[in-house]
A and B are shown apart, each in its own frame.
Chain A
Amino acid sequence: MHRNRRFIIGGLIIVAALAYIIYGGMREAIVYFVTPSELKATEAASVDKFLRMGGMVVNGSLQKDVKNLTYRFELTDGTASFPVFFRGVPPDLFTEGKGAVVEGRIGPDGVFQATTIMAKHAEEYSPHADGKDGYPKSFVPGKESAQQ
């Protein structure tokens, strides 16, 4: 009995330690997924929360400064749109009219400050129907001028 009790205590300590590191890890790393309209509705409560927002890049909203690597655009889910600011290099598939997921926080100016942009990949790899395209004259991330 004495031996069993020792094992139970040891087990409890291990479980508690594990629960503690899992809780700590989750609290820091869990990211909630919101749509632009959900974020609009809960804007005040969402300040300072690390979030992931998915939507479509609004046509005509993308302003970029390639030299300084800054991007401003709006994401929409069809009902509402939310302004986003990003500094860095977005993924190759990121462009206007396409789906994108951004990660970050709402800044003091009410703009979503993205630290990461993830472009939504096509589900299956599908080639163009009409064969060869012209070679790319330029390729600026965020703009698919490559394929004419």
Chain B
Amino acid sequence: MTATLGHTSIFVALLFALWGVVSPILAYRSNSERYFAFTRIAILAQFALVTLAAASLIYGLVTTDFSIRYVAFNTTRATPVYYRVTGLWGALEGSLLLWEWILIIFSGLVAWIYWGRQRETIPWVLMVFSIVSAFFLGVIAFVSNPFETISPVPADGRGLNPLLEDANMMTHPPLLYTGFVGLTVPYAFAMAALIRGKVDEAWIVPPRRWTIIAWFFLTAGNLVGAWWSYHVLGWGGYWAWDPVENAAFMPWLPATAFLHSVQVQERRRMLKVWNLSLIIIAFSLTIFGTFLTRSGILSSIHAFSSGPVGGVFLVFLSFVLLSSFGLLAFRADLLKGQPELNSMVSRESAFLLNNIVLVSALFTIFLGTIFPLLSEAIAGTQVSVGAPYFNSVTVPLFLLLVFLMGVGPMIAWRRASWDNLKRNFLWPAAASLLAGVGLFIWKVRDFLPLLAFTLLAFVVLTIFYDTALALRARHRNAGEGVIRGLVTLARRNQRRYGGLVVHLGVVLVILGIAGSMTYSIEREATMNLKEHLNVGPYLIQFEGLKGSQQPTHFRVEGSFRVFHEGDTWGVLSPALKFFPNQQSPVGRAVHRSTIGEDIYLILSGFSELDKNQATLKVLVRPLVVWIWVGGFVIALGTLLAILPLGKTSPETA
């Protein structure tokens, strides 16, 4: 019953999607307004129907309707209600439905917000949405059906992978999907502009705003994924350059590039083709990511299973690339004639360089991700490209990016004068060099971390110095104090100050990554009762094992007392969880964070419970906590940039 309702909704929604694709073409040919109105009806109908389908599946999951194969494979009677709901994205079929649902929510929002304002463009925007939606609905209806029934109906379901039963898993996939799908909005606007041949500056405003929103969700999704990896997977790391992680990260790079280069287009009417290309690439990468994840061509902990879905996505990806770039080439005449760069020392050239670096990073990551496929297809040799490749190629690029993050927001447009450079950069540069020398004298002796910390200091100092100068001006002109002045500045130019706060957040994230990449300590040992282990400034004493039966699993916990330079920090208890329906235990690592470093304990094994011998892995990871703090700062900055807090000045930066 539930299954029939859901599956039927999908079919009817598919019909509406096709109607939404055809109607603007009919309207254009017959010059009839009526058909244009249909594009909106098609979107709203899809919105209602897909919501109904998603609700049916959620209802099936919550009521453990095991006649639906998907429910039987992803819940059990014992599964708590909230994890039954998250079963929606626990496997391939459901996550495609979630994707489509988010897509149609975005399309509905766009239809609702812009219908009255951009009557000419919106039907075409909605048509692009309907094309993408028709593809996903087709996949759900014919290739990967979450409403497939099973008979005989099993007595109990299989349940989610226990690793996915975690609070972060409730947020990580939807956040990431929202980010991915959000990139469809700028894509739809870009395509609409190209189809209509109206590629002046007006079309760029909605994509800019929606890209910030998508960017925010992409950033949050990736950071929550890193957090989950660090806190739950229990290997002590947060990023492994796993192909699927790369798939989630790659769209972030052109999206970030676009957010910067779009300012050059707004200000200087340059980079039109480049901006359109970035939008197309970002959208294509979301489809490519799904292809990579779902095709099973790469082995990864994220890959659900192999099947025909991968091939279907590859076909759609080719269609997107060919039609989008074809359209771009077709409209090339309209995009010609842009002003030239006045000087290499200017804000537009800093942004251009930032774009080149981001796209280079994208290219190197893309190459590393697909290299094993290329190697096997062309040379027939199986190879793997590990984390060292990605680290060694991206570190110099990201360091360059950090430098540009300090320069870009402060340097003058068009042509920076010597005075401008001196005024904005002399003191921050001098102070950060001093900080670098200080760090060197203190203890940072390696070149890369020293360079990284110095550049990070430079970015922070340029932001603080610039804000301080602006505050001084407010004080002189309006007699405002620091707090009042900050509020006025932020309200007058939300985008600029939001952006600067985001930059501070990014600095913190990079600080955490740089610290934990370069100064980690790792030790492994098998310990007897009361035995000690020295790890850096820590001393760890083994205090015994304890086993206990939990509702869903048997848990073995080791107790380790941690001393830091002689002071006791209490007992940390990493555990191994034995699920009856899993072949091997699931580790539960524990850690304690301070602002300086984390100590991270993993119980790797133990002898007979009563013999009290345990194998422990200890990691000391500096500055990790700043990655998560940086994430919050980025969120705050994004909100400051997009929330309608007050009047924004037309002067945008």
Which residues of A does B touch, CB under 8 Å? 3, 14, 18, 21-22, 24-26, 28-33, 52, 66-69, 88-89, 92-93, 121-128, 131-133, 135-141, 144, 146-147
Contact = CB atoms under 8 A, between A and B. Distances in A.
A28 B392 contact: yes
B230 to A, nearest CB: 18
A135 B305 contact: no
Contacts of B382: 32-33
A30 B554 contact: no
A139 B364 contact: no
Nearest to A23: B393
A125 B161 contact: yes
Give chain B's interface secondary structure class: mixed
Contacts of A128: 580-581, 583
A18 B390 CA distance: 13
A128 B580 CA distance: 7
B388 A28 contact: yes
13 contacts: A29-B389, A30-B385, A66-B613, A69-B526, A89-B604, A122-B583, A136-B554, A136-B585, A138-B607, A138-B608, A140-B607, A141-B605, A144-B583
Given A22-B364, A24-B393, A136-B578, 11 more contacts: A25-B368, A28-B389, A29-B388, A30-B389, A66-B526, A66-B605, A66-B607, A69-B525, A133-B578, A139-B556, A140-B615
Nearest to B296: A123
Contacts of B32: none
B385 A139 contact: no
B169 to A, nearest CB: 14
Interface string B378-421: 00011111111110110011000000000000000000000000
A10 to B, nearest CB: 9
6 tightest Cβ-Cβ pairs between the two chains A and B? A127-B581, A29-B389, A33-B382, A29-B388, A92-B584, A89-B604
B580 A131 contact: yes
B108 interface: no
Nearest to A134: B554
* Interface size grouping (class) on chain B: 35 or more
Nearest to B158: A127
B310 interface: no
Contacts of B525: 69
B395 to A, nearest CB: 9
A146 B381 contact: no
Name the residue among A31, A68, A121 with the largest chain B CB count within 10 angstroms. Answer: A31
B160 to A, nearest CB: 8
B246 to A, nearest CB: 14
Interface in B600-653: 604-609, 611, 613, 615, 617
A69 B554 contact: no
Contacts of A146: 578, 584-585
B381 to A, nearest CB: 6
A67 B613 CA distance: 9
A143 B584 CA distance: 10
A92 B585 contact: yes
B383 A21 contact: no
B360 interface: yes
Nearest to A28: B388
A133 B364 contact: no
A29 B305 contact: no
B501 to A, nearest CB: 31
Contact of A135 (B364, B396, B554, B607): B554
Contacts of A93: 583-584
A6 to B, nearest CB: 9
Contact of B392 (A18, A29, A32, A141): A29
Nearest to B578: A136
Interface string B524-561: 11100000000000000000000101000010100000
B627 to A, nearest CB: 23
A89 B606 contact: no
B245 to A, nearest CB: 16
